[in-house]
Amino acid sequence: MRITTRRRKAAGALLATSALVVLAACGGSDSEGGKAVEKLGKTEGKVSILAWPGYVEDGSNDPKVDWVSDFEKQTKCQVTSKTYGTSDEAFNLAKTGDYDVVVASGDLTARMVASKEATEVNTDLIPNYAKVYDFLKDQEWNTFDGKHYGVPHGYGANLLMYNEDEVSPAPTSWSAVFEPGEMSKYKGKITSYDSPIYIADAALYLMKTKPELKIENPYALDEKQFDAAVDLLKEQRKNVGEYWSDYLKEISAFETGDSVIGTTWQVIVNSVEKAKVKAILPEEGATGWSDTWMISSKAKHPNCAYKWLDYIESPKANAQATEYFGEAPNSAEACDFASDPGFCETYKAGDKEFASKLWYWRTPVAECLDGRDVTCMDYSQWTKAWTEIKG
């Protein structure tokens, strides 16, 4: 990640002589260039959070689903929050500077750091970080140049969901939505995620079915590999009824019968009530996410932001949030607080073998993520291609 590295080195030089950095008690982050603070000040009384749906629940959507109120009682930091549907939407919202905390998937974190929208995080100020699974720490989507830019939340797979009454035989492979002969059976009722990062799903399928393309990482595609993935998605486009980024839209589409098969999140599967649906992890594996709580470099309430990061890392709050969303929690201790005794087994929490089948979202960059000495297609090219695919 050449651009990120260069910027980080520049920031490091500017801050080399900085003394102890302390967060101002009255708000405003003394984190010029993104350097992590060394101690916290007085909390500011409020914190603004930008998050995926289902990550910051205060009971207003469901009185039984609330982990925000306890945080507010414990810290006296009042929470306001906004949800987003895609990482691109989140990036644009984060740049407004209206949010102290942003939860970001791996296709966003590098952009947040490179654009200096996120600040380095001092994990020593987040006691619950010590409880997080080691395999979620120090990863390329949350740690840059050896510095932490956030803390892990939960992780999961982009699954294949289908209507059991309409799709037969039951699929076991992504071929159901990528092979022409299979797609045609559900023409107009296939749904796909509406984001450039979905190109990685096609690349993953090709990685497993077209070895001659020599794809080793679905986020590291040279021009030939990229064109093959784009062509596959253009073929799929002929059969897609609608793309979704608003998870409520996909729930509705499956309940009305407008969609019968397509990529999904577990929270959507859990929410569909008016159709008989099932979701699987296809034999090729899947793309997925390992989300990161980040603090904005423009945070107006950085002390409350740190309090939120520690709170949501705590086993109880993390269990509530990840169980509600439908993903694996970030620690083994969280399993003790799940309402469903089988929660962690269902989501294979801490199962390194299962986790190894997932290709977590990452930001495609020109310097190939798989280490090859060739030029890969960067995210701007993915974005342009996605527009062409959708037509």
Q: What pTM was computed for the model?
A: 0.81
pLDDT, position 353: 80
pLDDT, position 28: 38
Distance of CA 67 to the CA centre of its chain: 20
Look-up of token digits 């990550």: 55
pLDDT, position 34: 66
pLDDT at 18 over 50: no
**What average pLDDT score do residues 251-261 get?**
97
pLDDT at 331 over 90: yes
pLDDT at 267 over 50: yes
Tens digit of pLDDT for each residue in 209-250? 999 999 999 999 999 999 999 999 999 999 999 999 888 899
pLDDT, position 3: 26
Residue type, 295: I
User: Beta-strand (E) ranges in 146-189?
Assistant: 147-148, 151-157, 159-163
pLDDT, position 4: 29
Tens digit of pLDDT for each residue in 283-292? 999 999 999 9
pLDDT at 9 over 60: no
pLDDT, position 50: 98
Distance of CA 243 to the CA centre of its chain: 18
Quickly state the pLDDT bin for 323 (edges 50, 70, 90).
Answer: very high
**What average pLDDT score do residues 259-278 get?**
93
pLDDT at 104 over 60: yes
Counting other chains too, the contacts that 162-166 makes at CB distance below 8 Å and 24 or more residues apart are 162/260, 162/261, 162/262, 162/277, 162/278, 162/279, 163/254, 163/257, 163/260, 163/261, 163/275, 163/276, 163/277, 164/276, 164/277, 164/278, 165/275, 165/276, 166/257, 166/260, 166/261
pLDDT at 371 over 70: yes
**What average pLDDT score do residues 8-23 get?**
31
**Taking all residues of the chain, what is their mean pLDDT, rounded to a whole number?**
90
State percent of the chain over pLDDT 90.
81
- Please check whether residue 65 is in contact with residue 115, taking contact to mean a CB–CB distance below 8 angstroms: no
